[in-house]
Amino acid sequence: MDQVLTIGVSVLASMATLLLISVGLAVIFGLMRVINLAHGEFLMLGAYAVLVATRNGVSLWIAIPLAALAVGVFGLVVERLLIRPLYGRILDTLLATWGLSLVLVQAVSIAFGPATNGIGTPLGSVRVGGYSFSQYSLVLIVMAAVTLVVVYLLFTRTSYGVMARAAIQNPAMARALGIDTARMNMLTFGIGSALAGLAGALLAPVAGVVPSFGQAYIAQAFMTVIVGGPDVITGTSAAAGLLGGSYSLVSYFTTPFIGQAALLVIAIVLLRVLPQGLSGNWRTYL
Amino acid sequence: MLVALLVGTLATDFQKVTLALWVIYGLVALSLDFVWGRAGIFSFGQTAFFGVAAYAYGVIGINLSPNTGETVTALVGAVVAAAALAAALGYFMFYGKVGDVYVAIITLAVTLVLLQVMTSTAGPQYHIGKAQLGGYNGMTNIPSMEFGYPGHPGDQMSQPDTYNFVVLLAGVAFFFVRVLLRSGFGRVITAIRENELRTELLGYDVRRAKVIVFTVGGAVAGLAGGAYAGWGNFMNPAPFSLPAAALIVIYVLVGGKGTLVGAFIGTVAVEWLSTALGGILPSSTTLVVGAILIGVVLLVPGGLTPLIGHLVSRIVPSPPRALRKAGVGGAVGGASRGQGLQTQGLVKMFGGLKAVDTISLEFPAGELHCLIGPNGAGKTTFFNLLAGRYRPTEGTILLEGRPITRLLPHQRAQRGIGIKLQVPSIYRDLSVQENVWLAAFAKMSSTRQAEAAVDRVLARIGLVERAGSPAGELSHGEQQWLEIGMVVASSPEVILLDEPTAGMTHEETNRTVELVRSLAKTATVVVVEHDMEFVQRLDAPVTVLHEGRILAQGRLSEIRHDQRVLDVYLGRTFRVAGS
């Protein structure tokens, strides 16, 4: 029973991790159709922002939202300089953001050194019988759920959300209705970046902060959004649940590396069976 | 290749070691240029195939060559391993019909997972036979290339010999790719890159072609991987990293995408430059690579060679005209008077909406038939069900009495259904003649027959004078005829036309009437139309659809007076006023 509980927490934590790292990408890639290969580096910047803040005596709980904000602002700049000239040129966007990713990794490793910087995991651990798990896992799970709900409501229930989606789906029409599509896209990209920064910041205490931080997550994040399919938010959550769950279980019974490989194989096979992604035949809203 | 051998005679042995590496990298770039530049599939995976092959060479070489005295099996094994991985990956991606972007992402994911997996194999328990995988530190003591036989080990190749051998391998691979691209299959690859949908509707199996391309690309990258392991006697997971994959893309962009030979030129140029730069900025190579990537995309969007477009149009060969012969195609065509096309209880649901509601229709062989109806009547959905672009929720479709309900568009095309979509779907950058040639070749698979068919078709659609022009330069009406011509070129037994006169001038519509009526002499023709005048002039049986169901059938002259049809077309007001 105790073992089941701890496995349950670890499965949920894997799902939460996958959801957190994917939700920003779901906005940028799923919704805006912008391939941001530097998404992993946005996560990495979030983690470094937390590192810098905590080293300067800022409490972790304040550093995390600050990191999200900082990466969000960085995202606005990237959109303006790099993404905006390339809308509609998907492959060029891919190459340019790839270049950005390489530059960021190298720049950060020049600035901070290539070594791993640890941020102590806050809170203690809970003991259940002979097993224990970190309380921070519970924070991740709660934060993933909160983020999901906030993003869903933001894009479905607010006037910003409607205008943002209008600007993406039919820019000409949106402009005719008086929506400043360029500003909308910039803002949406910024929100996606902030979500990435938040994920990186939240994961910083559990993963080592290294320049290659993003590489560990980028492939999983893209696979999750792709497997999620057209209903961006709900699909991505479902995919995060499915892939995160299988990764966690396979890792538990074998090794994390086989878990990684299993995640990828499951994702590829799923796409063969459901080319439209999990939500391909759903008729949910977003 | 001659240049490379010439350089080889001038270079010192030490320089040859580096040169061999550049040629090996160039070979990987060649594989990407083939897959991306020529077939339009962007792949991050070329370095993954390269890496897997290098490990395969190492594993086979370390285990076998001490006994067999050769590494040919290792090299072949390397190529096979890479090709097999590419084929498996290609099967899932292309048969799953995932989009171009997803191919990029999936290959990226595979590459990164390989990086993580191979990096984690440091422990002594990770070995295959006598070969230690070695984790991040890599696999060592991989044998150099040698050609002996059991009991008589060959001499392990010296470094200059390795250079010559690598150049030889690269030359063979290069010419193999060239020959492949010059064959009929090569033109199909170009066709897929230019317009995938049209190629599928012509009857080519796009999925299979892409898997073949991807597998060949994997094999070429694998050859490079095997050669690399034999060259350096060492392999580690570094090639699976993102910077390594980025370099290959840069080689191709710098050399000129789609030029093939540019892959080698780009590699040498970039490597030479980065060797020079490496002295100045030792720790920032990745930074420079990333910056180059951003700079190229933002500042020189077409790639560094502005001639690329020009070269591509030159490289795609025109079908040779020397073999033109009149009359060869005369025997082709002429529909057998069979059962034609039938639908039985066809239903298509979109969510809760019944777009097509239990339609049973028969289009007898060798007759012309029109489908009309107001907007939203389900005409286009029904058309797409016939064409195979949608799969029906219920019901069957029969061609000559045999079910084709579950066949894919290209399979239907092969069974003799020619499809023309509403929006002209042609290869804009290919000439009119090449467009028709591709269509004819889909069915005949003999270059000569196809060429004869081209002339016949061009005469029929009245575009003989425009044969050499790029299709994109034709007027809208001419593009519609060209597409009809492409449909006719494969001598289909059933021809499906979706609004063939959409956007045509009055004059052009008149010519189209004659063209469509002449089609009906050799095939069953189903026309979905909007333009009543056009339908009237076709003078054929008409089926009126409304809300996904058949509302009325008969000659237009009869249907015109049908009260229900008038209601549907003119709306309720008319009925209120009329009753």
Residue keyed to tokens 């054929």: B540
- The angle formed by the CA atoms of residues A175, A179 and A180, to the nearest 5 degrees, is 90
Query: Residue B258: its chain A contacts at CB < 8 A?
Result: none
Given an 8 Å threshold on Cβ–Cβ distance, is A100 in contact with B102?
A: no
Interface-testing mutation among A102, A210, A225, with chain B (most B C-beta atoms within 10 A): A102
How confident is residue A199, by pLDDT bands cut at 50, 70 and 90? very high
Does A178 reach chain B within 8 Å, measured CB to CB? no
Q: Is A97 exposed, middle or buried (0-12, 13-18, 19+ CB in 10 A)?
A: buried
Given an 8 Å threshold on Cβ–Cβ distance, is A103 in contact with B104?
A: no
- Give the distance, in angstroms, between the CA of residue A30 and the centroid of all CA atoms in the same chain: 12
Does A271 reach chain B within 8 Å, measured CB to CB? yes
Q: Give the end-to-end CA distance of chain B in Å, rounded to a whole number.
A: 86
pLDDT at B218: 94
At residue B509, what are phi and psi to the nearest 5 degrees? -60, -40
Separation in Å, CA of A200 to nearest CA in chain B: 19
Q: In whole angstroms, give the CA distance from residue B303 to residue B311.
A: 13
Residue keyed to tokens 């008729």: A283
User: Quick one: what percent of chain A has pLDDT higher than 70?
Assistant: 95
Given an 8 Å threshold on Cβ–Cβ distance, is A271 in contact with B294?
A: no
Q: Is the pLDDT of residue A42 over 90?
A: yes
Does B93 reach chain A within 8 Å, measured CB to CB? yes
Q: Is B336 exposed, middle or buried (0-12, 13-18, 19+ CB in 10 A)?
A: exposed
Please list, in sequence order, all residues whose beta carbon lies within 8 angstroms of the beta carbon of residue B17, skipping any fewer than 6 positions away. Answer: B159, B163, B231
Please list, in sequence order, all residues whose beta carbon lies within 8 angstroms of the beta carbon of residue A284, skipping any fewer than 6 positions away. Answer: A231, A234
Element (H, E) at B60: helix B46-68
Element (H, E) at A223: helix A215-228
Which DSSP string do the residues of B271-336 spell out, in sequence order? HHHHHHHHTT-TT-HHHHHHHHHHHHHHH-TT-S-TTHHHHHHHHSPPPPSTT--TTGGGGS----
Q: In whole angstroms, give the CA distance from residue B419 to residue B407.
A: 14
Q: Which among A89, A255, A283 has the least Cβ separation from residue B351? A: A283
Instruction: Quick: pLDDT tens for A120-167.
Output: 777 777 776 666 777 888 888 999 999 999 988 888 888 788 788 888
pLDDT at B311: 45
How confident is residue A198, by pLDDT bands cut at 50, 70 and 90? very high
Separation in Å, CA of B461 to nearest CA in chain A: 36
Q: Which among A100, A219, A269 has the least Cβ separation from residue B109? A: A219
Given an 8 Å threshold on Cβ–Cβ distance, is B105 in contact with A223?
A: yes
Read off the amino acid at residue A186: M
Query: Residue A222: its chain B contacts at CB < 8 A?
Result: 105, 108-109
Q: Is B355 exposed, middle or buried (0-12, 13-18, 19+ CB in 10 A)?
A: buried
Instruction: Quick: pLDDT tens for A219-238.
Output: 888 888 888 877 788 888 88
Q: Which among A95, A103, A255 has the least Cβ separation from residue B291? A: A103
Given an 8 Å threshold on Cβ–Cβ distance, is A268 in contact with B242?
A: no
CB of B326 within 8 A of CB of B455? yes
Read off the amino acid at residue B430: L
Chain B residue with minimum CA distance to A267: B106
Given an 8 Å threshold on Cβ–Cβ distance, is B297 in contact with A261?
A: no
Q: Please write down the HEC assignment for all residues of B438-500.
A: HHHHHHHCCHHHHHHHHHHHHHHHCCHHHCCCEHHHCCHHHHHHHHHHHHHHCCCCEEEEECC
CB of B245 within 8 A of CB of B44? yes
Query: Residue A243: its chain B contacts at CB < 8 A?
Result: none
**Any idea what DSSP says for residue A121?**
P
Q: Which among B100, B102, B298 has the least Cβ separation from residue A96? A: B298
Which DSSP string do the residues of B114-163 spell out, in sequence order? HHHHHHT--STT-EETTEE--GGG-B--PPPP-B-BTTBPPPPPPHHHHH
Residue keyed to tokens 């809170």: A123
Q: Which among B95, B97, B102 has the least Cβ separation from residue A226? A: B102
Q: Which among A35, A216, A223 has the least Cβ separation from residue B109? A: A223
With a CB-CB cutoff of 8 Å, which residues 135-164 of chain A face chain B? none
Tokens of B207: 């999925």
pLDDT at B54: 92
> What's the average model confidence in pLDDT over A91-102?
85
Please list, in sequence order, all residues whose beta carbon lies within 8 angstroms of the beta carbon of residue A286, skipping any fewer than 6 positions away. Answer: A152, A155, A156, A231, A232, A233, A234
CB of A247 within 8 A of CB of A267? no
**pLDDT tens-place values along chain B, 579 residues long:** 556 666 666 677 777 888 888 899 999 999 999 999 888 888 888 999 999 999 999 999 888 887 777 888 888 999 999 999 999 999 988 887 777 778 888 888 888 888 888 888 777 778 787 877 877 788 888 888 877 777 666 677 777 788 888 888 999 999 999 999 888 888 888 888 888 888 888 888 888 999 999 999 999 999 999 999 888 888 888 888 887 888 888 888 888 777 888 888 888 888 887 777 665 555 566 777 778 778 777 776 555 554 444 444 444 444 433 333 333 333 333 334 457 888 888 888 887 788 888 888 888 888 888 988 887 788 888 888 888 888 888 888 888 888 888 888 888 888 888 888 877 778 887 888 888 888 888 777 677 778 888 888 888 888 888 888 888 888 888 888 888 888 888 788 889 888 888 778 888 888 888 888 888 888 889 998 877 788 888 888 888 888 888 888 888 878 877 888 777 776 644 444 443
Q: pTM for this one?
A: 0.75
Q: In whole angstroms, give the CA distance from residue B205 to residue B14.
A: 49
Q: Which among A102, A269, A272 has the least Cβ separation from residue B286? A: A102
Name the H helices within A56-158.
60-78, 90-112, 135-157
Tokens of B197: 């949908």
Tokens of B319: 């079908």
Q: Is the pLDDT of residue A284 over 80?
A: no
Query: Residue B116: its chain A contacts at CB < 8 A?
Result: 216, 257, 260
Nearest to A221 by CA among A32, A8, A31, A37: A37
